[in-house]
Amino acid sequence: MTGSVLPPLPSPDRPGGSIELALTPVGEPPSLRADAARNRTRLLEAASQLMAGCGAAQLTMDAVATAAGVGKGTVFRRFGDRTGLLVALLDHREEQLQAAFLSGPAPLGPDAPALERLHAFGPALIRHERDHHELLLSSRTDPLRTYAVPAHRLRLTHVTMLLRQAGVAGDAELLAHTLLGSVDGVLVHHLTVERGMPLDRLDAAWHDLVTRLTTPASSPA
């Protein structure tokens, strides 16, 4: 949903932290006319094909313009710069993930209890980050931008909401940051590619961390 405004984090005063969430693209581009939207799709398809052949590191605005049969200025006007293009490429992939946890089937979707959804969210996000790590790494020219993009804020809101619905004690928003930090795209890339860790090990670590955060502390004897 382009141009949508991300809702605020769920208030602890609201029962169960209930909140309505909406699909939010990575770069939140403005609404486009039908012809402009078709041109944008055409450019993204050309960029996707180029990236499949040469990788994101070699993707240039010139190459996209040539592949799409337009002037380079058209690409710059549509995406601003190379980082904007890479972020746009992430949008439709991100929207698929968002649709799965906002409205998809259980255990990731809304028909499952909050704790089950929280356990399912980590492995889904790990695979998303692993599958798109080249795009993610190439688009992160500004470390602070990672936390400002609507997609990250939506993930944070979602995990915060699940923690509150599960009745977790403590600062749910900061706990959500901790959980998301454990499956950050750069970290997932390092662990799976540089360290050669299997995805099952990352999944197990996520489940262990969720269990530790959501299990009430034992009362002293």
Q: Where residue 25 falls among pLDDT bands split at 50, 70, 90?
A: low
Last residue of a domain, one of 13, 48, 80: 80
Report yes or no on whether pTM surpasses 0.75. Answer: no
CA 92 to chain centre: 11
Q: What is the CATH number of the domain that holds 111?
A: 1.10.357
Last residue of a domain, one of 46, 80, 114: 80
Range of the domain at 109: 81-216
Question: Same structural domain for residues 130 and 148?
Answer: yes
pLDDT tens, 117-157? 999 999 999 999 988 887 777 667 777 777 888 889 999 99
CA-to-CA separations, 191 to 129, 177, 188, in angstroms, rounded? 12, 19, 5
Question: Same structural domain for residues 161 and 55?
Answer: no
Alpha-carbon gap, residue 46 to 207, rounded angstroms? 39
Q: What is the pLDDT of residue 20?
A: 54
CA 149 to chain centre: 9
Question: Same structural domain for residues 42 and 145?
Answer: no
pLDDT tens, 42-101? 898 888 888 777 777 778 999 999 999 989 999 999 999 888 888 788 887 788 899 999
Question: Same structural domain for residues 46 and 147?
Answer: no
- Joined together, the tokens standing for residue 201 give 């090990």
Q: What is the pLDDT of residue 2?
A: 36
How many other CB atoms are found less than 10 A from the CB of residue 44?
19
Alpha-carbon gap, residue 124 to 214, rounded angstroms? 19
pLDDT tens, 1-17? 333 333 344 444 444 44
Percent of the chain with pLDDT over 90: 48
How high does pLDDT run on average in the chain?
83
Alpha-carbon gap, residue 10 to 204, rounded angstroms? 28
DSSP 219: P
Question: Same structural domain for residues 59 and 168?
Answer: no
